[in-house]
Each structure stands twice: as structure tokens, then as C-alpha cells.
Structure 1
Amino acid sequence: MGAPDILYVEDNEDFIDVVERAMGQIDGNTTIHTIEDGALALTTLEKLIENRVKPRLIIIDLNLPGLSGLDLLRKIKETPALRYVPAVMFSTSDNPKDVRTSLEFGANAYVTKPMGYNNLVKCLSSMHDFWLKTTAPLI
């Protein structure tokens, strides 16, 4: 099992479709794998580690079924093999408490989901350029 460039954990199927379309528009070579449940994401990450691979970026929605985004983030950052994989919280919430808690749990960034497709493309393009191009040699 090879690792995707981006592991995206999101439970909204419509938003998943839009993000996948936008990422394809940004860079058709970037692989993105989506998982709709926090517990399943953790299981998937454990399997990747067993195969000695890991994603280059993990994007996590705050509110997930099974295992919340914050709990998933905490488990990722407690796992030595994943500790340095960038994890970005990507949520509709702009509540300062959610931002602060995410950063305290080890998020590398907290991004509020933008309104509108063009704004989403700009947002994802910025994440892609920063986390997959600029910092790629550091990970």
C-alpha cells in the first residue's frame, strides 16, 4: 500500500467531491485519499506505518464521526512515525477555542473552510504550495 500525498479526513461527501475536484485542478499529480471517519483514518495510518510509508500532509475536519478530529490529531501527534507529518485542521468553525485547542494538540495550522469554489481553490492551492512544495524537503 503506497501512501497518498494527502490524507484528507472529512465526513461530508459533497465537500469531499469539491475538494478532490479542486485539488485535481491545482495539481493533477498530487494524490489525495479521503476517509470519512476518524477511527478508520487512524487504522489506515497504522497500516501505512506498517508498510513504512506515510502521507506528506494530513488534512482533518474538526467534527468527525467515530473519533473526533481533535482526538485523531492527538493520536497522530503521539505516534512517533507520524509526529512530524504536517497536520492541518480544516473546519467551518472559526471559534477561537477550536483554533487554540487544535494548536495545543499539535496542529501545524488551522484553516477555516472558505465560502465559494474559487476561494476554496485558492485556499487549497496555498496549502499545497506551502506543505507539499516549500516544506517537502524538511519532512
Structure 2
Amino acid sequence: MDIRENQCDTVVLVEDNPDDAELTMRSLNSLQLGNQIIWLKDGTEAINYLFDQQPGQSRRVSNRPKLILLDLKLPKVNGIEVLKRIKSDDQMKTVPVVVMTSSNESVDLKTCYELGVNSFVTKPINYQEFIEATKNIGLYWLLVNQVPN
């Protein structure tokens, strides 16, 4: 299946840690909601995917997911910069962005909310708590929450 099919049902996971990414994807898939999960490993990949940005071409938004799960501590382009880019774009700013990070710094929390993040979650260290937190995030943002088209 092409990753650009059924984009409104797509969850974009921007996470550089393969263990955290695997746990997040397993947790979400265990809910059996049928959402496709796209794993992007750094901020540059996220911007290129979300904005279909190719060198020498004008930018256009073509990959509007249902939910973006965003880590802050990313290589190349950090999560704060990715969040700024998403929330400053008229076509993307209504896509829910949940920051899932190991950071518990109040400056990160404040900055993310000032930029328009929809939720800020500090990743639990405990395995079972991580699984449960991810499931709860998925259930709320994919089933309960409603956003404009």
C-alpha cells in the first residue's frame, strides 16, 4: 500500500529512538483501529513527509494525518521546530499534535503550548505505564476527538 493512501486515517510518529517507536506502534496497533502508522526518524523526515517538500519544488501539503505523535529531542531538526512549522501552516495547524517526550523541563512544556501543541506527555519509564499511556492517547485522539477537515 502506498503511504499516501488513506491519509486522513494515518498516524505520523516522529521518534528517533527505535525502542520507543516500536513500543508506541505496538500499543497503537493493539487497539485494532486500522490506522496506518508512519514512523519518521528525525525532524527533517517529518517536514519532508508532511509538506511533501522536495529540493527545487514549491511546498505543498499533501500528507495530512489524523494525528502526529512528536518527540522533542530529534536529530537534524528538533521537535520544537517541527511543531512551529506544523502550527504555522494554515492547512496543517488543525491536525492534533501530541508531544511524547522524555523531557520534563517546564520550558519545553511552556514553549510547546505557546506554539499550539494539543497535548504534552512525558513518556513513562515503566514499560506497562508506557503501553497504557500510549493506548490512552490513541483512544482519545483517534476515536473521541474530532477535528475539522
The reply to whether TM is greater than 0.5 is yes
The structural deviation recorded for 1:7 is: 0.3
Q: Using the alignment, how far apart are the partners of 1:24 and 1:136 within structure 2?
A: 20
Contact 2:95 2:147 in 1 (8 A): no
Contact 2:70 2:99 in 1 (8 A): yes
* Structure 1 portions without partners, runs of 5+: none
Question: Percent same amino acid among aligned pairs?
Answer: 27
Q: Using the alignment, how far apart are the partners of 2:115 and 2:95 within structure 1?
A: 14
2:46 to 37, 41, 44: 41
Amino acid at match of 1:115: I
1:32 to 29, 37, 60: 37
Contact 1:26 1:121 in 2 (8 A): no
Decide whether aligned partners of structure 1 residues 34 and 75 sit closer, same or farther in structure 2, where only a CA change above 3 A counts. same
Provide the aligned C-alpha RMSD in A: 2.0
Amino acid at match of 1:12: N
Mapped pair 1:120 → 2:96: no
Partner residue, 1:89: 99
Partner residue, 2:10: 5
The structural deviation recorded for 1:52 is: 4.4
The list of structure 1 runs, each at least 4 consecutive aligned residues, that deviate by more than 3 angstroms after superposition, is 48-53, 136-139
- Count residues in correspondence: 139
Partner residue, 1:107: 117
Structure with a larger share of its residues in helix: 1
Find the structure with the greater CA-based Rg: 2
Amino acid at match of 1:65: P
Q: Using the alignment, how far apart are the partners of 1:46 and 1:93 within structure 2?
A: 26
Q: Using the alignment, how far apart are the partners of 2:115 and 2:103 within structure 1?
A: 16
TM-score (norm 2): 0.84
